[in-house]
Amino acid sequence: MFRIHIYRLCNDKDYEMYIGSTRQKIKNRLWGHFTIANTGSKRLISKHIRDIGKDHFYIQVLQIKFVRNRVEQFKAEQRWKNIFNASLNVLNCYVTKEQKNERVKIYQIKNKEKIASRSKEQGPSYREKNKEVISERRKNYYQLNKEKEKSMHEEYVKNNRQKIRDYDNSWRIKNKDRLNDKRKVKITCECGSIIRKSDKSKHLKSNKHALYYSI
């Protein structure tokens, strides 16, 4: 028996959402996502974090639960994915490698005979024969679900506005020092001025900076 957090990783820039589960403390899991993104991981969620910037991401616990094994963990996680629309999770909620392996394993156990008889068959698979049809279908499906996801997300935000706001505020308070440290980072501008990184756009409009270019 072990305790898991089922969580969603959201961002305030677009409607993409990741649902996952972890045995870690939720704060550590968030940092884990950021660390993996920093290493240049090709996973979609990592790429997404790099594209949008980690400051736009926040993590939200959906449920704390005790489970006996990974299969139970997977099922509990899946239930939440279903709530947010399972079909979307395939596209929008990116699974970790372990989770993917777990899925494959479960599938293999459940479909042992089917797989065995299928592998006996000769010739190209359905997938190979219908590559274009499948890719077209997938594209349409994605488009359709993107709309659905968007309205679902809006609905969620509408119904949970205060909850989300409270969560964001408490996150900001908890991470105040870290955010402040970040704001204090100094850089040297092309004009030679030493400025705070967070002040850069302000500085670029300043007389001091303009003077350097006018000389």
> What Å distances lie between residue 109 and 13, 53, 112, 114, CA to CA?
40, 39, 5, 10
Residues 2-21 that bind Zn ion (CB under 5 A): none
CB of 182 to Zn ion, least distance (A): 20
Q: What angle do CA 92, 84, 5 make, to 5 degrees?
A: 90
CB of 213 to Zn ion, least distance (A): 9
What is the DSSP code (8-state) at residue 102? Answer: H
192: left (phi over 0), alpha (psi -120 to 50) or beta: left
Give dist(CA 14, CA 122) in Å, integer. Answer: 45
Closer by beta carbon to Zn ion, 71 or else 204: 204
CB of 203 to Zn ion, least distance (A): 6
The verdict on 33 binding Zn ion (CB under 5 A) reads no
Give dist(CA 92, CA 143) in Å, integer. Answer: 12
Binding residues with Zn ion: total (CB under 5 A): 4
Q: Which DSSP string corresponds to 50-96?
A: HHH-GGGEEEEEEEEEEESSHHHHHHHHHHHHHHT-HHHHHHHSPPP
CB of 195 to Zn ion, least distance (A): 7
Closer by beta carbon to Zn ion, 106 or else 189: 189
CB of 207 to Zn ion, least distance (A): 11
Contact string 163-192 vs Zn ion (x = CB under 5 A): --------------------------x-x-
Residues 193-212 that bind Zn ion (CB under 5 A): 193, 209
Residues lying near Zn ion in the complex (CB under 5 A) are found at: 189, 191, 193, 209
